[in-house]
Amino acid sequence: MSTDSPRDPTSVSFESGLLSPVSVGHDAAVSDAAVLDALVEVELALVRAYGCLGVAPAAEVGVVVEAVEAHALDPIAIARDAVAGGNPAIPLAAALRDIVPQPARRWVHRGATSQDVLDSALVLVSSRAVDAVLADLDAAGASLARLASGHRDEVAVARTLTQHAVPTTIGLRFANRLRALRRATERLTVVRAELPAQLGGAAGTLASFVELAGAEAAADLPRAFAAELGLAAPEAPWHTSRWPVTELGDALVQAIDALGALAADVTTLGRTEIGELSEGIGGGSSAMPQKRNPARSVLIRSAAIRAPQLGATLHGAAALAVDERPDGAWHAEWPTLRDLLRLALGAAANGRLLAAGLSVDAEAVARNLALTRGAILAERLALALGADAATELLDALASGSGGLAALLDARGLDPALADPSAYTGLAAHLVDAARSVDDPATPVPDPHDPLEPLDPNRSEPA
């Protein structure tokens, strides 16, 4: 199919997700249309706040709201006109003034600066996107809790530096991912609740608002403005104190990190030669129809690789927030924050679906556990028997002289030392403790009452 028909380049959307499939279908909350809607909401919120404080006549507030809500603005036109002034708030204010009749027109953008409008709009967009991310994180956490519970006592190989180490449980592996996800969710929830509106006037002194309404009303205006938007009231203007942006960025990166670690487990443990985990329904291959690619995990990992650099860019911009409004650092934040939100939306949505569909292959888990024929218990043998006896046993095991249980029995030692399920430490307790946060009814064993250690010289009752 030909795609070479002539087009007006200013009428074509730059980003449709063709090269960022992780966020396709999940990023409407941060689209240009969503940003423009938020910009308009901010302008109307300021007018309404003036009305709430009795600064603007109620009738004129109504005229502004009615006129603006009756018109649809073109984001492409606003974007094109933003080039001259360097930000979209300038042409937006002009467009709204053209819409609103006199004398109510005077209240449009009155006293505000472009940064007040754009910062508040991006915070508003962020708050809505974060709400969606949090819902998906909660759902993913619930699925991980179920997996941890369902595989609580299923013994598996723990791998350190890619190699078989000691026994663990599948349940503990899921519980550890659950803990990381829950921590990220808690942090993002706190940051979301504290996202502030921005209102400071030209240089953060609120002088324009004092001139318009007097000091008392000007002091109350940011609170009324924030309330109209459903955002936190700012303690002070934060034009060059960018902690709201960096804290949000850090929390988003942490959430994507947690999802990325889960996805990495799936891609690693789902390899053909390991086969312990699968997504359930895998993606296909264009050339190899036998493959079931871990498509969701791949997409999540792509987000996890990109996100930290975006967070770093936000910090770099914050560190260069000079004077009373930055010259370029502020502008660098806008697309960076949106890209990070898009990745979080996509990673969280795919993470929810991934966790809900994860499948454990018990046969593969058992097969891998038996691969070393008992050498996975080397640490236990050294602790129970001493280093020399353990080394002798492992040498005999490596020479093919028999299985570990038989070798122990032949030496008059307890063959139960060869049972990997008896060397998982407090794994069950750690799983139950992780689950109990979500389900208070889950019994949590007392970690001070662990399993009785095995006596290597003890004979088992007949």
Query: Is the pLDDT at 132 greater than 70, yes or no?
Result: yes
The per-residue pLDDT for 399 is 87
287: confidence class by pLDDT, cuts 50, 70, 90: low
Residue 302, both tokens: 């792509």
Residue 462 lies in a domain: no
Residue 86, both tokens: 């360097």
Query: Is the pLDDT at 440 greater than 90, yes or no?
Result: no
If you average pLDDT over residues 85-97, what whole number do you get? 97
442: confidence class by pLDDT, cuts 50, 70, 90: low
Name the domain count of the chain. 2
Residue 194 lies in a domain: yes
Angle at 355 between CA 351 and CA 358, to 5 degrees: 130
Are 240 and 115 part of one and the same domain? yes
Residue 12 lies in a domain: no
The verdict on whether 325 is a catalytic residue reads yes
Query: Is the pLDDT at 208 greater than 50, yes or no?
Result: yes
Given 11, 13, 285, 401, which residue is catalytic?
285
Are 379 and 336 part of one and the same domain? no
379: confidence class by pLDDT, cuts 50, 70, 90: very high
Domain holding 45: CATH number?
Answer: 1.20.200.10
Which residue would you say has higher pLDDT here, 12 or 84? 84
Overall pTM surpassing 0.75 (yes/no): yes
Are 355 and 394 part of one and the same domain? no
Query: Is the pLDDT at 285 greater than 70, yes or no?
Result: no
Distance CA 333, CA 86 (A): 13
Residue 226 lies in a domain: yes
Are 358 and 397 part of one and the same domain? no
Are 399 and 330 part of one and the same domain? no
**DSSP string for 219-277:** HHHHHHHHHHHT-BPPSS--SS--HHHHHHHHHHHHHHHHHHHHHHHHHHHTSTTT--E
Of the given ranges (15-19, 73-77, 278-282), which has the lowest mean pLDDT? 278-282
The count of residues in the chain is 462
Q: Angle, nearest 10°, between helix axes 32-52 and 215-229?
A: 140
Are 115 and 180 part of one and the same domain? yes
Distance CA 122, CA 334 (A): 8
Task: List the alpha helices (DSSP H) in 100-206.
Answer: 114-150, 170-194
The per-residue pLDDT for 455 is 45
Distance CA 444, CA 5 (A): 66
The per-residue pLDDT for 284 is 52
The per-residue pLDDT for 409 is 86
Chain-wide mean pLDDT for the chain?
91
In tens, the pLDDT along 220-232 reads 999 999 999 999 9
- Residue 440: is the preceding peptide bond cis (ω within 30°)? no
Are 346 and 201 part of one and the same domain? yes
Are 206 and 137 part of one and the same domain? yes
The per-residue pLDDT for 437 is 73
Q: Containing domain of residue 397, as a range? A: 372-423
Are 195 and 284 part of one and the same domain? yes
In tens, the pLDDT along 261-275 reads 999 999 999 999 999
In tens, the pLDDT along 149-162 reads 999 999 999 999 99
Residue 423, both tokens: 């060397």
Are 63 and 198 part of one and the same domain? yes
Query: Is the pLDDT at 296 greater than 90, yes or no?
Result: yes
The per-residue pLDDT for 226 is 99
Are 376 and 343 part of one and the same domain? no
Query: Is the pLDDT at 16 greater than 90, yes or no?
Result: no
CB neighbours of residue 458 within 10 Å: 10
Are 190 and 217 part of one and the same domain? yes
Residue 162 lies in a domain: yes
The per-residue pLDDT for 453 is 44
Given 80, 187, 325, 367, which residue is catalytic?
325
Residue 452, both tokens: 């009785």
